[in-house]
Amino acid sequence: MKLLQTAERISHNDTSDNSIYQRSLFAYLESAKIIHGTVLEIGTGCGYGIEHLAEKSKKFITLDKAKPDVLSNEILISSDKISFIQMKVPPLKGVPDNYFDFVVSFQVIEHIKNDEEFLNEIYRVLKPKGKLILTTPNKKKSLTRNPWHIREYLAPELSLLLKKKFVNVTEFGVFGKENVREYYSKNKEYVRKITRFDIFNLQYLLPRFLLQIPYDILNRINRKRLLKNETKLTSTITSNDFFLAEPNDDCYDLFFISEK
């Protein structure tokens, strides 16, 4: 891992990332239950979810603006049905119309400046009746401003955005069991100890680019401290500790399925 690993790219090799990693893995496992055919993933990240989607796909293409550091290269090399494309989106350059049965995009749309163009491009490359599976953080559960996010969404806002283009939008929220809620509560307590010094509310007043590196440093420190002080709680959370239900203010992520 890099000396300063951005908190936006979590690692399954760092136990301090475990709760967020398991939450992210949960989205892959849930999606693997329904995907088939030709599948596009937008936002490879570290590549830890590839095998779960690829094994259910006839052809699997994953893309990201940067090559992942911890990508499961063995999986990419050994499988002729998986390919990685380095690309910044939108648009989806060179990707044909009406090509994919499914597009999955986890924790990406909040980073996209033009979210409508992003969704228009996904709509374009999906086959008729093809589906988009999309996750993004629930704005109501954000503990601070995340300067890496251009925006965050409430469930009604994301629903309205998707329904501009898609039909049959199915809405879920990602919730956690008691141990996940306890971890979130401890994390919230730690974050408040840091943000109490922001008496001028600068996290919401300064430009995003000025806050990104300090945010990453403090986030990393916070996660390491949580691991040290709450080792069992931090390290024993698994993907089985998350579940889908109707979204509300208490869900951690929005998990929406939209049909073309």
Please tell me the predicted confidence (pLDDT) of residue 45.
80
CATH no. for residue 125? Answer: 3.40.50.150
Alpha-carbon span 127 to 110, nearest angstrom: 24
Are the beta carbons of 38 and 18 closer than 8 angstroms?
no
Residue 255 has pLDDT above 50, yes or no: yes
Please tell me the predicted confidence (pLDDT) of residue 72.
54
Assess if residue 6 is contained within a domain.
Answer: no
Are the beta carbons of 123 and 87 closer than 8 angstroms?
no
Q: Mean of the per-residue pLDDT values for the chain?
A: 89
Please tell me the predicted confidence (pLDDT) of residue 61.
92
Q: Greater confidence, 216 or 239?
A: 239
Q: How confident is the model at residue 76 (pLDDT cuts 50, 70, 90)?
A: low
Q: How confident is the model at residue 77 (pLDDT cuts 50, 70, 90)?
A: low
Residue 32 has pLDDT above 90, yes or no: yes
Q: Is the dihedral of CA 103, 105, 106, 109 positive or negative?
A: negative
Considering the entire predicted model, what is its pTM? 0.91
Assess if residue 39 is contained within a domain.
Answer: yes
Assess if residue 19 is contained within a domain.
Answer: yes
Assess if residue 3 is contained within a domain.
Answer: no
Using DSSP bridges, classify how beta strands 167-176 and 253-259 pair: parallel, antiparallel or unpaired: antiparallel
Assess if residue 153 is contained within a domain.
Answer: yes
Assess if residue 31 is contained within a domain.
Answer: yes
HSE value, Cβ hemisphere, 13 Å, CA-based, for 29: 14
Assess if residue 5 is contained within a domain.
Answer: no
Please tell me the predicted confidence (pLDDT) of residue 108.
96
Residue 101 has pLDDT above 70, yes or no: yes
- Two tokens, residue 64: 């990201």
Contacts of 170 (CB under 8 A, 6+ apart): 256, 257, 258
- The model's pLDDT over 55-68, given as tens digits with 9 standing for 90+, comes to 899 999 999 988 76
Q: How confident is the model at residue 218 (pLDDT cuts 50, 70, 90)?
A: confident
First-to-last CA distance in the chain? 39
The structural domain count of the chain equals: 1
Assess if residue 44 is contained within a domain.
Answer: yes
Q: State mean pLDDT over 20-41.
A: 96
Q: Which range has the worst mean pLDDT, 60-69, 109-118, 182-191, 250-259?
A: 60-69
**Residue-range definition of the domain harbouring residue 243:** 15-259
DSSP letters spanning the chain: --SS--TTS--TT-GGGHHHHHHHHHHHHHHHTT--SEEEEE--TT-TTHHHHHTT-SEEEEEESS--SS--HHHHHH-TTEEEEE--SSS-TTPPTT-EEEEEEES-GGG-S-HHHHHHHHHHHEEEEEEEEEEEEBGGG-SS--TT-S--B-HHHHHHHHHTT-EEEEEEEEEE-HHHHHHHHHHHHHHHHHHTT-TT-GGGTS-HHHHHHHHHHHHHHHHHHHHHHSHHHHHH--GGGEEEES--TT-SEEEEEEE-
- The model's pLDDT over 118-171, given as tens digits with 9 standing for 90+, comes to 999 999 999 999 999 999 999 999 988 788 899 999 999 999 999 999 999 999
